[in-house]
Amino acid sequence: MSVCLSHTHTLTEQNIKTSEIVKQLVAEENAGELQKCFGSRMEFGTAGLRAAMGAGISRMNDLTIIQTTQGFCRYLEKNFSDLKKRGVVIGFDARAHPSSGSSSKRFARLAATTFISQGIPVYLFSNITPTPFVPYTITHLKLSAGIMITASHNPKQDNGYKVYWENGAQIASPHDKGISQTIEENQEPWPQGWDDSLIDSSLLLHDPYVTINKDYFKDIQKHCFHRNINKETKLKFVHTSVHGVGHEFVQSAFKAFDFKPPLAVAEQKDPDPEFPTVKYPNPEEGKGVLTLSFALAEKEGAGIILANDPDADRLLVAEKQESGEWKVFSGNELGALLGWWIFTCWKNQNQDPTAIKDVYMLSSTVSSKILRAIALKEGFHFEETLTGFKWMGNRAKQLMDQEKTVLFAFEEAIGYMCSPVVLDKDGVSAAVITAEMSSWLATKNLSLSQQLKAVYDE
């Protein structure tokens, strides 16, 4: 074991902190912990990588990020003859792990270094962004691929490496196997691979932060149909980003739709990799994550709570009921409401009765079949896919390439694609579109819960 370890160790020692962790374990002869760190390499799957940050080939650290990116880079070179013209986008969330010297930003910069060392342009966001900004940037700038460094709603010690293809959807098979193989073939870090300071003076480094922030919010405005109602609404919204990246982006989305800004949960609005106020930073946990949101909503008289997960690609919604209780909507329930709303808006905009034959909605096979019921009654198409947005994103793109209109896709794990400008779940657009739906319903004296019952009855 010591031979194998010392070899891997010569590769990892560039990061002093992970190197120290390994030396300490060797000195202590802690075979159990060394086995955990070095026993098996992280599997690269269709969601990319996700693991704890720390030392060894089974963890997310500087070395494994470099090796993964080298493999991904070689795989892209095989698949895109114009890779050096088009380039890739890289985004990151606010995660950090001080004891191993790891952070999403550091990983993103190392990945950028790998590509730039091979003459490939990189659009590296200069600051944290929501995950949906990466797939959006790929299609918006016609890039070859994208990487988002995030572990989404996982526990704080974890991080992840999420990969998107040129169509703006998450990679599907067989790309995962191909990338896995090229990672195996490119283990030895390339010269200069560790020195991320080299990229700062490179002409191949671009920062898309300002333009994407502008263009994304302009694009989602196509889904704003009731500006006057939004301006006048008496509804108050509370928003929490659960110590993640969502705060300023949801504020911007509300501004784009002419709303007053939502009330932010002060203790949770700034990114904090320690997630100090929640046991798990996962809104799917429901009420436990919303304790501070409920308190703020009660204090301010707000009727609706919007909660994003830490990388802002999911959305949880709660509404104050007449009884004074709070109803937390399941992913299927909000999917039903958003599907009804987005179709209603489309129908009001489209006077051509034949257009409906090209309209589609999607959901995953484990999600509710409510969209199928609406489709049968209204005359549009419904399709179900395998579980996960990689399937829905790829299918949506195929349909769009055939000149079809994809209005909406969702999965029960509180993921919603409310606009085809992002072929993945997007908690930012979903939050503001939910706000507009709520405001419009309020003008009819209807709550979200009442409208949900009406959808089911229908």
Residue type, 75: Y
Tell me the sheet residues that pair with 383: 362
Q: In what order do the strands lie in the sheet with 405-411?
A: 381-385, 359-364, 405-411, 415-417
User: Known catalytic residue: 241?
Assistant: no
Token pair, residue 292, equals: 């501070």
How many Å apart are CA 34 and CA 158, to the nearest integer?
A: 18
Cα dihedral sign for 53, 56, 61, 65? negative
Token pair, residue 128, equals: 């944290």
Within 10 angstroms of residue 145's Cβ, the number of other Cβ atoms is 28
- In degrees and rounded to multiples of 5, residue 237 shows phi and psi of -115, 140
Within 10 angstroms of residue 80's Cβ, the number of other Cβ atoms is 18
- Asked whether the beta carbons of 156 and 179 are under 8 A apart, the reply is no
Beta strands 359-364 and 405-411, pairing class: parallel
What is the DSSP secondary-structure string of 69-124? HHHHHHHHHHH-TTHHHH-EEEEE-S-EEGGGTEEHHHHHHHHHHHHHHTT--EEE
Out of 144, 152, 252, 419, the active site residue is 152
Q: What angle do the packed helices 448-457 and 370-378 form, to 10 degrees?
A: 60
* Enzyme catalytic residues: 152
